[in-house]
Amino acid sequence: MLPTPCTSHVPYERVYEPAEDSFLLLDTLSSASETAFLAAHFPAVTTTTTTTTTTTTTTPSPPSSSSLSPHPLSGTTTATATATASRATATTASAPLLLLEIGPGSGVVLAFATAHAAALFGGRRDVLALGIDVNRFACRATRETVRKAVAASSVPRRRKGRRRRSGGDADGGGSGGGAAGGSGAAGDEGGTGENDDGGQQEEEMEEEGEGEGEAGDTAGYFLGVAQGDLVGAVRPGTVDVLVFNPPYVPTEEVPAVPAAAGGGGGGDGDGERMRTTFEEDSALLALSYAGGKDGMEVTERVIAALPAVLSDRGVAYLLLCAQNRPEEVKERIRQMEGGGRWRAETVGSSGKQAGWEKLQIVRIWRA
């Protein structure tokens, strides 16, 4: 099982806390069936086979007039075709994948997909991860969540080479600490050796140290988090994998974006964290769950944008609850662009009641 990213740094008074919906996305993306789909849908290389056919035609000559009896085919022309075929196979690397999460909130899903890109995408690490959130505090939280997750996914590597030591004990009995003239630390110039010549020795060194990993051994590449509204700033036809855990709770209306959500989305200072009121914090949280009529007002905007924003090979993962009427939603998606061009299937489900919610993950892609 792949580890869940740490979100202990997230200010939950302003940013949606990971809950069952978040964890359902993690479980679905990392399931055996879905990783198999992603590996097959986004192969690391593409193979093109070209077949060339050569045809040779021959026509028999008419029989000689001196023949004692007429040729049975005399006066006709016969064509004989001989075909030869050759096959050429070309293998080209597949283009990198752009993964976009809309409204990452705490960043737990985006961090999970980034840190475990190789596990989710059939060994591929050329996954470029991007988040877009209207809440500046969520943008900041996501950056830190991804940073921690990628660092934690690093794999310790063995280090080989040669190191110098003074003639005495390899550890030298002293504490290094970088102090000038320290006594006997490994590699120190000032240790007291036991060699006759007082010189230094070299020894083969092979060690595996904690923290010696190279971050990103299994991770993709994190592009960052942009502050914005849904996919309005995304170039058409560029997104290969889109993930959206929308505000899906039915409410009377979708709240307006408070001023506290904006303001540059920048600094990390504690002073800035204190510049919101309780009402503003409540409004920020409402953006993460209040979905308007049937809980679908925000989601419908994203669904309508899918034909434009997804690449030809693009796949979207959308979370819905029972009150969103998911069967009707899937049928509307299948009828987009005249019908027959889109598929929508449930690939993950909570399998139990979460309060009044019953959750499912819908995969959307072109037929």
234-256 pLDDT, tens digit per residue, is 999 999 999 999 999 999 999 88
| CA pair distance 287, 103, nearest whole angstrom | 10
**Average pLDDT over all residues of the chain:** 78
| CA pair distance 297, 34, nearest whole angstrom | 28
Give the model confidence (pLDDT) of 75-118 as tens digits. 544 455 555 555 655 556 689 999 999 999 999 999 999 999 99
The mean per-residue pLDDT over the stretch 282-296 comes to: 92
Query: What are the phi and psi torsion angles at 50 (to 5°)?
Result: -115, 130
Amino acid at 285: L
| CA pair distance 345, 365, nearest whole angstrom | 9
pTM: 0.71
The token pair that represents 272 in the structure block: 């800035």
Cβ neighbours of residue 276 under 8 Å, at least 6 residues apart? 14, 260, 284
Cβ neighbours of residue 80 under 8 Å, at least 6 residues apart? 57, 58, 59, 60
| CA pair distance 133, 240, nearest whole angstrom | 18
The mean per-residue pLDDT over the stretch 294-310 comes to: 97
Cβ neighbours of residue 357 under 8 Å, at least 6 residues apart? 20, 21, 321, 322, 323, 350
| CA pair distance 258, 281, nearest whole angstrom | 9
Domains and CATH numbers, the chain: 20-44+95-154+217-366 (3.40.50.150)
Q: What is the pLDDT of residue 263?
A: 53
4, 26 Cβ separation under 8 angstroms: yes
Q: What is the pLDDT of residue 24?
A: 96
Higher-confidence position of 77 and 28: 28
Indicate the length of the chain as a whole number: 367
Judged against a pLDDT cut of 60, whether residue 43 lies above it is answered with yes
| CA pair distance 264, 248, nearest whole angstrom | 27
Q: What is the pLDDT of residue 318?
A: 98
The mean per-residue pLDDT over the stretch 279-299 comes to: 92
CA distances from 137 to 126, 274, 287, 356 (A): 28, 12, 12, 29
Higher-confidence position of 75 and 219: 219
Give the model confidence (pLDDT) of 10-26 as tens digits. 999 999 999 999 999 99
Can you say whether the dihedral through the CA atoms of 263, 266, 271, 277 is positive or negative? positive
**How far is Cα of residue 198 from the mean position of the Cα atoms in its chain?**
56
The token pair that represents 330 in the structure block: 């899937």
Judged against a pLDDT cut of 60, whether residue 271 lies above it is answered with no
Judged against a pLDDT cut of 50, whether residue 56 lies above it is answered with yes
Give the model confidence (pLDDT) of 322-353 as tens digits. 999 999 999 999 999 988 899 999 999 986 55
